[in-house]
Amino acid sequence: VLEPGIEATLSHASCERVGIIGTAGTIRSCAYQHGLAMRRPDLQIHAVATPLLAPFVEEGWLDQPSTRMVLREYLKPLIERGIDTLVLGCTHYPLLVPAIRRVLGQKVRLVDSASTCAAHVKSRLESLTLLRTTKSKPTLEIHLTDLSEQFETLARHFLNADFGKVK
């Protein structure tokens, strides 16, 4: 997830001030910050831990007033620093893009680390000729160690697919 996200962040020449949001662990690891700084030492990088966002997504609160209020608080220091790019450093966060756009507006470029990772995996599978080529509908079984009440709804939203019963 990191490398494709870093590559996508740096793919625009206009990228000068990068904000990063992610879970406390992701931000504390400095993985994105380090990866970006190693490739572009001149880059201004500002990271903010956003630990409430993943639970909001898991609850299905994608664009509620409370979600936007929390986003405004989390994004305020990044807006004040004039970021031109925001890295969504958690695979949950793409579902919050409409709410993030309401707070940030259209001028800040969003880098979705989940989509960039998926594109990277697809490219890699193509280069190894391992990409699925049949047109039949694939099957998917999901097995969890802990089933939350919201998981099936959230998974359908994430995957944009019906997959039967979660086990």
Q: What is the pLDDT along the chain (167 residues), one digit of tens a residue?
A: 788 899 999 998 889 999 999 999 999 999 999 999 999 999 999 999 999 999 999 888 998 999 999 999 999 999 999 999 999 999 889 999 999 999 999 999 999 988 887 888 888 898 998 888 888 877 777 777 665 667 777 777 777 777 777 77
Q: Exposed, middle or buried by CB within 10 Å (0-12, 13-18, 19+), for 80?
A: exposed
Question: How many H helices and E strands in the chain?
Answer: 8, 4
Q: How far is CA 20 from CA 61, 71, 74, 142, in A?
A: 21, 13, 11, 30
pTM, full prediction: 0.82
Residue 39 is classified by DSSP as: H
Burial 15-48 (b: 16+ CB within 10 A, else e): bebbbbbbbeebbeeebbbebbeeebeebebbbb
